[in-house]
Amino acid sequence: MSHAHAPGPTGPGAAHAPGPTGPGAAHAPGPTRPGSVILDIGEDAGALVVYTPAELLGAEIEIGPAGGSGQRTHSQVRERLGPGGEVSYAAVYPGVPAGRYVIWRDAETPAGSVTVTGGEVSEWSWADAHQG
C-alpha cells in the first residue's frame, strides 16, 4: 500500500499529531551547524539519526520500543549542514536506550525499524525504506 507524505497542519494552534504528519512546518527551526548536536551515548545508550526527504522538514517523527512496550518519543526533522556545506534533513534522538525501535509513519502505521546499540550512533533512511 502506498501513502502520500506531507507535513501536517501549520500556523498558530496547529494540533500535535504523532508521526511525520504532525505540526509540519508550524515552527521549523533553522539549520544545525556541524558539531552543534550533543549525543548522550554510553554503554547502555546510543543515538539514532533518521534521515528524511526535505519535504518532511519540521515534521515530528516518533520512535518507540519494538513490541509495543514502553513510551514513544519524538524529534523534529531539521536541516543539517555538514562540514563541507552539504545539506541533509534528519531527526536526531540522543541518549536512546539500546534495543530495537519502531519508527512511526503516523500514530498507527510503522515506517520501519532499527536497532540502537549502546555507545554507537545508528542511522535509518526514510527514503531507502520507502523506495519501490
pTM: 0.73
Per-residue pLDDT of 21-36, as tens digits, reads 444 444 566 666 555 5
Nearest Cα to Cα of residue 130 among 38, 36, 56, 69: 56
| Inter-residue contact 57 to 97 (CB < 8 Å) | no
Q: Which of 114, 131, 126, 29 is nearest to 63 (CA)?
A: 114
**pLDDT one-digit tens code per residue, 104-131:** 999 999 999 999 999 999 999 998 876 6
Instruction: Say which CATH topology domain 39-121 has.
Output: Immunoglobulin-like (2.60.40)
Q: From 1, 12, 6, 11, select the one nearest 106 (Cα to Cα).
A: 6
